[in-house]
Structure 1
Amino acid sequence: MTTNQTIGGVPRGEPVYQVSDGVNGWSDVDLLRYTACCLDPEEYECRVLYAEHPAPVAVVLPARPRADEEEYERMTDYEKGLLHGGIELWDKIDEVTRLNPSL
């Protein structure tokens, strides 16, 4: 079974193989154990589930930290540190966005 199968033209997610012995409930297993258990249908029940692709999510980021020169001069060292930390964080967010255009 491959991970690129489709249902009605819609691609499936990754397969999750599960077996149950009727007593202990369902357990996730690897493909080899799944195949072995399916050879004994009187002892084990087998099923394959497919993980769904995550739904797209809109993310709203907070405003970028900015301070004009006059405002910056009135800031305490602590506030300046927070401002610089926020700017560094935004630099990292910009880099992630550049590397992942779908974001």
Structure 2
Amino acid sequence: MKTKINGKTYNTETAKLLGSYRVGSSFDSISYLSEDLYITRKKEFFIYYRGGMLSIYAKYNNDGFPRDGFGFKVLTPDEAFDWLKKHNRKDAIENYFSEKIK
């Protein structure tokens, strides 16, 4: 997947995947949630997310009914560090945030 945000291109095929988080067992689930954290060649972080109609990533039709949602969210380095810490991605923390390890 690829998108432009504030004039910058974010592409899941060319960025490096640092970690994934999933809730639910299938994309068919109405409460399914998926987040993939990436880093670009220019050291910028972003999440590609997907979610069922009852997830935090649901989108709403004009009639007000929810549907599955997906998209991109750009993260600051601090937000990316917090995401990696929350999801216990020690390998990525050591590789990209070694200065923050106590």
User: Which TM-score bucket, shorter chain as reference?
Assistant: under 0.3
Q: Scaled by the length of structure 2, what TM-score is found?
A: 0.24
- Greater per-residue helix proportion: 1
